[in-house]
Structure 1
Amino acid sequence: MANNQTYQHYIGAQWVAPSSGEYFQSTNPATLAVLYSAARGNAEDVAKAVESSQAAFEDPRWRDLSQTKRGHLLRRLGDLIGEHAEELARMETLDNGKLLREMRAQLSTLPEYYYYYAGLADKIQGDVIPASDKRVLNYTMREPLGVVGAITPWNSPLTLTTSKLAPALAAGNTMVIKPSEYTSATVLRLAELATEAGFPPGVVNVVTGFGAEAGAALVEHPKLAKISFTGSTLTGSRIAASAASRFIGTTLELGGKSPNIVFGDADVANASMGVVAGIFAAAGQTCIAGSRVFAHKSIYDELLERVTERARSIVIGDPLDDLTELGPLAFADQRDKVAGYVDLGVSEGARVLTGGRRSDGGLGGFFYEPTVLTDVDNSMRVVREEIFGPVAAIMPFETEEEVLRLANDTDYGLAAGLWTQNLSRAHRMASKLEAGTIWVNTYRAMSPMSPRQGFKNSGVGVEHGTETMREYTRLKSVWINTNEEPVADPFIMRS
């Protein structure tokens, strides 16, 4: 990615200038240097992209392509991502500040998502339903929906776009993507690679811009068959309302305030590292962050000391440097939001054991120190509301019943972690915790094969796994009368 490069929209396998002629800049959050300019999309640009994707959906080159050949295209796209992994990892690091070594790890596994859905492409099938009349054949079939609108966030642009794009394409849909205005570059490059892989023009389109302009226009476009969104709960609720008014489906992966629970019988050294990974990895900018830490009173002091000591030693700096352990927050408003929440927590009575300060990381960027809060309880806003930054609130508990009540006392239900050597307790807690993903003696593990679903205000629908194919298909029931005898008059009753 060359400095000061200008990106257009990617529509119909071509670079298309914005109808308004306007562009916006993206900056490196570590250094504040301008990276590139991107097209500022509006409703007219979105309409072009949707029309292009609708035409591609109806084009025999895509519509009549066999399921197996769709899988071949997905596999080729996965290969291309692997071939360009270093380029894509570096682009994403420059754009959102995540550690280059973390992005290299993500990009090394990202092709597996495309391989997985490539394998599912020709496993989409219906059933034959037993009928009471043997002369009637009833079967079901699953069909693609049409044009899917995807709105993706800035914290993991390629991974979270892939979670939508790969299954949608495997099912035979086309897609218009509106990436975050903070991280447009890698999603545009992904669309280019899709064309190189052999997907027909218009199957994957990208319109860049702001949520209130391009995003809202995409959500409200009448030709969309579905909306898939990852982002804040507030925006997700607005999207859900808009989609419901038009009776189209949504997949919404929204916010989280995940509990990470450490019992007295846990290996405290391992659990401490699990807590650190759960909240400080990616600078806490992940919806699954284990931001509410509950430690049994018997090991509370030890866990607090271990986590605080490691937080103090985390190396803050240039995310391109392999020695760096914590990069910047993605943009100024996000850093200010994190700082505001820590200040709020202190005003509520919380005590800062380490961190709690802005930093420029020695580079002038949007850094914030890893922060540990104690003297907190589950009623505080700093514990109840999503911060999306490197801030851990650590609380003691006494009984399993108490911590279960505290863990579930939240508006969210995306993920939860627990650390224990008691197998019975692990199963008990897993069955009672109100969260779509439960980790035991680990945190942040994921796979394209394992489904993810948010409970409560954390969203609706499923991503990953075979279940997600239902999100991108519609079910049709077909009845065929094989009886060649004349159809009886329905108004003549026969005994």
Structure 2
Amino acid sequence: METPMTEVISAVIDGAIISAGEAPVSIINPANDSLIVDLPEAGADTVDRAVQAARRSFDEGVWRTMPVDKRQAVLRRCADAIESNADELAGIESANTGIPFSQLRNRSVLRAADNFRFFADYIGQSVGELYEQNPDYLTMVRREPVGVAALISPWNSPIALGSMKIASSIAFGNSCVLKPSEQAPLGISKLATLMTGAGVPDGVVNLINGRGATTGDQLVRHPDIDVVTFTGGTHTGRLIMKAAGENLKPATVELGGKSANIIFDDADFDQAVDGALLGIFTNNGQQCLAGSRILVQRGIAARFIEAFIARAKAIRVGDPLDAATELGPLVSQRHLQHVMSFVPDANLAGHRILTGGHRAPGFDKGCYFEPTVVQVDSNDSRICQEEIFGPFAALMIFDTDEEAYALANASRFGLVSYVWSQNIGRIMEAQERIAAGIVWCNTPMMRELRAPFGGYKESGVGSDGGKACEAFYTRQKTVTIPRRPIILRKLGV
């Protein structure tokens, strides 16, 4: 399969593609280090144009006042457009990120279509509130769109996570300005161009490309932005929360993770091995919800480690456009160096490299790194405490359930956790004891869009999901009406 060509998109404003801009951002194919395209950065004037287009479309009200059934139809056409262009979108994103084409085509792109269909369904069932307890008054609570949303999406799953932000923000009648990560903007930029053809009115969805410290900062600080949402690293999340807070803009941030994957001795062994492999090695290990700390109970540890390492060594590393590839290159040379910086720690006392720890052999170019597993004796290790964000797992052995919970919670992060056991009592105890926003029991990653998705501690503030997004992207308005004519006190008579 050939790497697809892509348009030069600095911005999409009012449905029109803008190709001119300022200092270019070079987009590199991590499979072979070749230049895909130089994207001119959207400067301050372009950011302002995008925000003003969104503000104008919101104030004019073509989208926010559109009847719900018609808005639903547009959202469903967006889903159809994604599916109709699934091969192209997956190909662009694979060339940009290094994620295997098959994973993108069969999971991420379909998930993007599902995001639009879910929120189309959700707004058809959304209801207000009515309070009738006071005999003289009726009080109703309505929800109205907040206005213009700034959406900042990540590089590790641009189409799946970027589409979640777009679909959830516009479903409730808002307009938006999306800034993809400068490392992987191509797939989501293509998606933005498809939405006009699906019937989204001009100005409702706008996009700007550029660096976070310039274009992103200008977007967050723009006075006509009403709310901000960000998915990415914890350091950047702090800066965005601070900038938004200075201007009293509500913000949600979904940040890093160092998730514990607890394998109890009564787990379904084969399922636990499969799940642990998927938890750390899918998406090239570059996911905030990766099960990167694998905690195995001593009674099954030797057997589990043997099976897990044998399978990890057999993972097919290769060209992401090859259908047989299971693990592609990391997103950039810079990120490859970050992941490799943890290898020296793996050679310290109390650490044992069980497999990997090197650039993948057989590749003259690209950002390929072997599936890597390090057994550690202490959860205090840097390998256990910092987010590596690659195919790099830390494995620890525990004895008691109490020890497992203590290890799982001994982290500054609290995004997700995994628990494997066939004892329902143990499962129920574990989900209560683990300090994480999501606990997956006897399953790898499963996203229920009706439920909130968000983390504890340094993993973020706020959540995605049906009700959570409705609460964030709408404002409550209380309206009180007398049931009958009322007699008022007469002042000054």
Query: TM-score, length-normalised on structure 2?
Result: 0.96
Contact 1:53/1:175 (8 A) holds in 2: yes
Runs of 4+ aligned structure 1 residues displaced above 6 Å come to none
Give the total of aligned pairs: 490
Identify unmatched segments of 5+ residues in structure 1: none
Query: Which residue number corresponds to residue 61 of structure 1?
Result: 62
Aligned to 1:464: 465
Deviations 1:201-250 (A, max 9, x none): 11000100101110111111111110010001111111112222222211
Report the alpha carbon displacement of residue 363 of structure 1 after superposing the two structures with TM: 5.2
Q: 1:70, 1:169 within 8 Å by CA — same for their partners in 2?
A: no
CA contact (8 A) 1:176 1:204 kept: yes
Q: Indicate the residue corresponding to 1:353 in structure 2.
A: 354
What is the DSSP-based 3-state SS (H/G/I as helix, E as strand, rest coil) of the residue aligned with 1:368?
Answer: coil
Take 1:450 and 1:327, find their aligned partners in 2: how far apart are those partners?
31
| Distance in 1 of aligned mates of 2:351 and 2:405 | 22
In the alignment, structure 1 residue 173 sits paired with structure 2 residue 171: no
Which residue number in structure 2 is paired with residue 242 of structure 1? 243
Q: Which amino acid in 1 is paired with 2:117? A: Y
Q: Which residue of 1 aligns with 2:141?
A: 140
8 Å CA contact 1:41, 1:209 repeated in 2: yes
Superposition deviation, residue 344 in structure 1? 2.6
- Range moving further from structure 2, 463-472 or 285-294: 463-472
| Aligned residue runs from structure 1 range 150-189, under 5 A | 150-189=151-190
> Partner residue of 2:365?
364
Say if 1:112 and 1:448, in contact at 8 Å, map to a contact too.
no
> Do structure 1's residue 311 and structure 2's residue 321 form an aligned pair?
no
Q: CA deviation at 1:478?
A: 1.1
Q: Is the 8 A contact 1:67 1:170 kept in 2?
A: no
Preserved contact between residue 57 and residue 174 of structure 1 (Cα < 8 Å): yes
* Range with greater deviation from structure 2 (8-17 or 478-487): 478-487
Shift of 1:450: 3.4
Q: How far apart, in 2, do the equivalents of 1:111 and 1:63 lie?
A: 21
Q: CA deviation at 1:371?
A: 0.5
Residue aligning to 1:99 = 100
**Aligned mate of 2:123, from 89, 106, 121:** 121
AA of the residue aligned to 1:470: A
TM-aligned CA distance change 1:236 to 1:482, over 3 Å:
same
Deviations 1:392-425 (A, max 9, x none): 1111111111111111111111100011111110
Deviations 1:370-398 (A, max 9, x none): 00101331111110111001111111111
Aligned to 1:297: 298
Q: Which residue of 2 aligns with 1:211?
A: 212
| Range 10-19 or range 431-440, more displaced | 10-19
Are the aligned partners of 2:221 and 2:247 in contact in 1 as well (CA < 8 Å)?
no
Report whether the alignment pairs 1:34 with 2:45. Answer: no
1:16 correspondence with 2:9: no
Structure 2: distance between partners of 1:18 and 1:47: 15
Q: Distance in 2 between matches of 1:361 and 1:110?
A: 34
Q: Equivalents in 2 of 1:361, 1:89: separation in Å?
A: 25
Residue 130 of structure 1 is matched in structure 2 by 132
Shift of 1:193: 1.1
The change in CA–CA distance for 1:344 and 1:485 in structure 2 (over 3 A counts) is: same
User: Which one-letter code corresponds to 2:432 in the other structure?
Assistant: S
Equivalents in 1 of 2:486, 2:297: separation in Å?
75
- Structure 1 position 183, deviation (Å): 1.2
1:315-464 equivalences under 5 Å are 315-347=316-348, 349-359=350-360, 362=363, 364-464=365-465
Q: Distance in 1 between matches of 2:376 and 2:383?
A: 12
Task: Give secondary structure in 2 for the equivalent of 1:61.
Answer: coil
Partners of 2:63 and 2:111 in 1: how far apart?
27
Tell whether the 8 Å contact from 1:312 to 1:370 is kept in structure 2 after alignment.
yes
Q: CA deviation at 1:355?
A: 0.3
Deviates more, 1:237-246 or 1:446-455: 446-455
Report SS of the residue matched to 2:411. Answer: coil
Q: Which residue of 1 aligns with 2:110?
A: 108
Following superposition, the deviation at residue 81 of structure 1 comes to 0.5
* Equivalent residues of 1:296, 1:396 under 8 A apart: yes
Q: Is 1:375–1:395's contact at 8 Å kept on the other side of the alignment?
A: yes
Which deviations, in whole Å up to 9, do the C-alpha atoms of 1:417-445 show, x marking residues without a partner?
A: 01111111001101221111111111112
Distance, in Å, in 2 between the alignment partners of 1:490 and 1:131 is 28
Distance 1:27 1:360, change over 3 A: farther
Q: Distance in 2 between matches of 1:319 and 1:89?
A: 11
The code of the aligned residue for 2:87 comes to E
Question: Which residue type is aligned with residue 392 of structure 1?
Answer: A
Asked whether the equivalents of residues 376 and 393 of structure 1 are also in contact (C-alpha less than 8 Å), the reply is no
User: How far apart in 1 are the matches of 2:265 and 2:89?
Assistant: 43
Q: Is residue 71–residue 119 contact of structure 1 (8 Å, CA) maintained in 2?
A: yes
Cα gap change, 1:231 to 1:109, in 2 (>3 Å): closer
Task: String of CA shifts for 1:307-354, please: whole Å, max 9, x gaps.
Answer: 111111111110111111110000011110110012233236421111
CA distance in 2, matches of 1:475, 1:240: 23
Shift of 1:359: 3.0
Superposition deviation, residue 32 in structure 1: 1.0
TM-score w.r.t. length of structure 1:
0.95
Structure 1 counterpart of 2:33, one-letter code: L
Q: Is the Cα–Cα contact under 8 Å of residues 6 and 186 in structure 2 kept in the other structure?
A: no
Change in Cα spacing, 1:230 to 1:381, as seen in structure 2 (3 Å) is same
Query: Contact 2:152 / 2:230 at 8 angstroms: preserved in 1?
Result: yes
How far residue 108 of structure 1 moved from its aligned partner, in angstroms, is 3.0
Find the aligned partners of 2:4 and 2:444 in 1 and give their Cα distance: 36
Q: Percent identity?
A: 36
What is the rounded CA distance, in whole Å, between the counterparts of 1:376 and 1:73 in structure 2? 54
Structure 2: state its 5+ residue gaps. Answer: none
Secondary structure of the equivalent of 2:323?
Answer: coil
Letter in 2 for 1:326: L
Q: Secondary structure at the match of 1:79?
A: helix
CA deviation profile, 1:436-457 (whole Å, cap 9, x unmatched): 1111111112233332121111
Q: Separation in 1 of the partners of 2:491 and 2:82?
A: 61
Q: 1: distance between equivalents of 2:128 and 2:223?
A: 29
1:323 corresponds to which letter in structure 2?
A: A
Q: In structure 1, how many angstroms separate the alpha carbons of the residues matched to 2:26 and 2:374?
A: 36
**RMSD value over aligned CA atoms?**
1.7
Q: CA deviation at 1:486?
A: 4.2
SS in 2 for 1:198: coil
What amino acid is the match of 1:452?
F
Query: What SS does the aligned partner of 1:453 have?
Result: coil
Deviation digits for residues 175-218 of structure 1 (CA, Å, limit 9, x no counterpart) = 10000111111111111111011111110001001011101111
CA distance in 2, matches of 1:353, 1:433: 27
Q: Deviations over 1:11-64 (max 9, x none)?
A: 1111124453x4222111001111122121222211111000000111232232
Shift of 1:468: 2.1
